[in-house]
Amino acid sequence: MNKKFSKTWKGSKRPGKQRKYVANAPIHTRKKFISVNLAKALREKAGKRNIPVKKGDKVKVLRGKFKGKEGKILEVRMKTGRVIVEGIQVTKMDNSKANVKMQPSNLQIIEMADRKGKVEMKKTKEVKKEKQETKTEKTKENKK
């Protein structure tokens, strides 16, 4: 098997090929892998269903041992595709605490940290919709 990352790879049933795709992906492609589901109120604000998680976002855990807990994102690890959430820790055998590296798909964003362009993006979408509506109205008037 070729060791390089393929831009043209579409998908495979073979788990090994799927793992290889993720392991060899460049950083700009890995950003997609750390996308997190948005809460319903935020979906309307952002105009999207999920967005890449960012340090400072407040998230809620939806799956696993820590289900229902909330906390802020302390660190996003692009290399491993994991996220460290504040307050989610395990106790080790020597009674010390260790942060748990969570998978982004098991989280939901409750509050977003400052993001440039995300709210403006919705405005541009609304403007495009208004332009399309006015165009359809003009074409209807021209037909009459």
Which tens digits make up the pLDDT trace of 44-86? 888 889 999 999 999 999 999 999 999 999 999 998 999 999 9
42-46 long-range contacts, Cβ below 8 Å, gap at least 24?
Answer: 42/109, 42/110, 42/111, 42/112, 45/119, 45/122, 46/112, 46/118, 46/119, 46/121, 46/122
Mean pLDDT, residues 126-144 taken together:
72
Tell me which residue of 104, 99, 95 sits closest to 87, measured CA to CA: 99
What is the structure's pLDDT at 88?
95
pTM over 0.75: no
Range of the structural domain that residue 60 is part of: 15-131
What is the structure's pLDDT at 121?
54
**CB hemisphere CA count around 2 (13 angstroms):** 6
SS3 81: coil
- Please indicate, yes or no, if residue 139 is contained in any of the structural domains: no
What is the percent of the chain with per-residue pLDDT over 90, rounded to a whole number? 49
Q: Can you give the CATH number for the domain in which 23 is found?
A: 2.30.30.30
21 sits in which H/E element: helix 15-23
What is the structure's pLDDT at 134?
75
Is the pLDDT score of 120 beyond 70? no
What is the structure's pLDDT at 142?
75
The total number of structural domains that make up the chain: 1
What is the structure's pLDDT at 123?
58
SS3 73: strand
CB neighbourhood size of 123 (10 A): 10
Is the pLDDT score of 32 beyond 70? yes
- Please indicate, yes or no, if residue 138 is contained in any of the structural domains: no
- Please indicate, yes or no, if residue 3 is contained in any of the structural domains: no
Is the pLDDT score of 117 beyond 70? no
